[in-house]
Structure 1
Amino acid sequence: MSLSATVLVLLSAVLHATWNLVSKRQQPSAAFYLVASAAAGLLCLPLLGASWANLARLLPTAGLLLGVAGLCQGLYFVALAGAYRQGDLSVVYPLARAVPTILVLVVTVLRPGDSAISAVSGVGALLAVTGCLLVPAKRFRDLGPRTYGNRSSLLAVVAAVGIAGYSVADAEALARLRLEAGLSPTTSALLYLGCEALSTAAVLAVWVLSQRQERWHLRQVAVKSAGHAALTGVVMYVSYGLVLAALAFAQDVSYVVAFRQVSIPLGALFGLVILGEPWHRPKLAGVGAICVGLVLVSMG
């Protein structure tokens, strides 16, 4: 992988872990992520307006998948907010980042027409699953059903399901845009990114406005943390934009995917060092196993 691609993807990983740190410190709500998604969508409006002809080709081709992705991202943010209010960044972040890769791998294997995974990917998946089982535990002898029944871990897994859902929808939508709408990879990715931010904001708006507590949270965000929420949204989508840019420089996409896993130990380290979360040995071992496992999956 070229130096340019390496720098871009590492910067993306740092930004991804950073926006999660910022939002965790705000004790986020769905309303917080509504403001974040809306800010990102508004940032993309000039691009969407300037590309109206391409946008007219995007919506008929990928409109349904865009809606599915918005629903899945909405689920992700609602669950992530609950997980961060209940649990540690150093537990929630590795789980939410690792489980989707495992789920997408399973979907790929089960989907008709796809080939079986390699032995390297299989070993990597087992390592990642083992890491996910270790991360929530305080002691190695605590491994058992009670360790995984806490609210934050369950919500982290729900968030991961949301990530897996929109990842599959995104991949299918972008493939259709290239093949059926005739859009270039860069154009389709940037336009889709902006539309997805607005779709997610719309889904979150419905949820927030339908919940009394979330309406209260929205008023609190507007008064106390609108700037943090907007910054989170902008950094969130800039981070993804850097990944798209890195793909343009990389000859092998698997290296980009592998290098992105740097965000997992970094996010855990932010929680441990900056937020003062406990350094439990199973957590450290689990984060290490997740990182190695996901790198093997991406390289396999």
Structure 2
Amino acid sequence: MPIHITLLVLFAALLHASWNALLRGGTDRLWSMTIMCIAIAIASIVAAVFMEPPAVASWSYGLLSALLHVGYNLFLVRSYRVGDLGQTYPVSRGSSPVLITLGAAAFAGESIAPGALLGIALVSGAIISLAFRGRNLSVPSLPYALGTGCFIAAYSVTDGIGTRLSGAPLAYTVWMCALWGVLMPAVYIGLRDARSLFSFRPGTLTAVVGGLVSLLAYGIVIYAMNEAPLGAVSALRETSVLFAALIGYAFLGETLTTRRVVACAVIVSGTLLIG
């Protein structure tokens, strides 16, 4: 994988961990996630005005990805309701690189070098190990965390194919994100009401910033998917767990154990094999 792609994806990983920490630290995470999506929609629509639409062949993938992103949002919010960042995040993010590698082989015809495969396995295994307490994988929100990982794999493979068909990765990103950002408020209003969504709260600005950060992070990832194997990009992106562990320790009062330090070292080793 080219070094500039590796560095870009690692930067996206830092951004991704940051907005997840913002979401986990909020009190009403469904509302925060929806405000983030509104910010994403506005920024994407403004950007789309200045771009040619992506190729028609990619439109169905963009629509499917937007729907999958909404499912991902709902599962992520539910998993954070009862699990802490240091447990839920590793399960959802650690399960996705292997799933994406399998999905890319099945649906995108990708093959990957043995060294990179070993790196992906190391990254995924080490990430999931961060969720263990002793010898037990005791995660209160385990079904939702695993479901989140499945949604990540599904939309990643979808976007990997869609962006390659689009002929314009940046245009594909903003059009897909605009649609996703419009769908999520509609789902929120269906689950609750419009009044509570548009009422100003103290965390509004934080949620808006989180949305813009997440848009930038995923835009970088989609660009990387156009240039490198999907599984390798995903595994590199999931090094965000390294940053999440540090953020959870420094700002959310979560524990940074010896197990986590060792797992982080294995993740770094896997990253070197991939990159």
Superposition TM-score, scaled by structure 1 size: 0.76
Which of 75, 83, 93 is equivalent to 1:97?
Answer: 93
Q: Distance in 1 between matches of 2:17 and 2:96?
A: 16
Asked which structure has the greater CA Rg, the reply is 1
Q: Distance in 1 between matches of 2:13 and 2:22?
A: 14
Matches within 5 A, 1:1-300: 8-51=8-51, 54-55=52-53, 58=55, 60-111=56-107, 113-115=109-111, 117-139=112-134, 142-143=135-136, 147-148=137-138, 150-178=139-167, 188-212=168-192, 218=197, 222-243=200-221, 260-293=237-270, 296=273, 298-299=274-275
Q: Deviations over 1:210-251 (max 9, x none)?
A: 223x7686366x423221111111111122344567799x99
Q: Distance in 1 between matches of 2:114 and 2:179?
A: 38
Structure 1, unpaired ranges of 5+: 179-187
Q: What number of residue pairs does the alignment pair up? A: 275
After superposition, the Cα gap between the structure-2 partners of 1:129 and 1:86, relative to the gap in structure 1 and judged at 3 Å, is same
Offset, 1:45 = 2.1
| Paired letter, 1:272 | Y
Q: Distance in 2 between matches of 1:266 and 1:44?
A: 26
Q: Distance in 2 between matches of 1:36 and 1:272?
A: 24
Offset, 1:110 = 3.9
After superposition, the Cα gap between the structure-2 partners of 1:109 and 1:175, relative to the gap in structure 1 and judged at 3 Å, is closer
Offset, 1:175 = 1.4
Superposition TM-score, scaled by structure 2 size: 0.82
Q: Distance in 2 between matches of 1:92 and 1:274?
A: 17
Considering fraction of residues, name the structure with more helix.
Answer: 1
After superposition, the Cα gap between the structure-2 partners of 1:30 and 1:294, relative to the gap in structure 1 and judged at 3 Å, is farther
| Paired letter, 1:205 | P
The alignment's C-alpha RMSD in Å is 3.4
Q: Distance in 2 between matches of 1:226 and 1:284?
A: 34
After superposition, the Cα gap between the structure-2 partners of 1:70 and 1:286, relative to the gap in structure 1 and judged at 3 Å, is same
Q: Distance in 1 between matches of 2:4 and 2:128?
A: 35
After superposition, the Cα gap between the structure-2 partners of 1:129 and 1:255, relative to the gap in structure 1 and judged at 3 Å, is closer
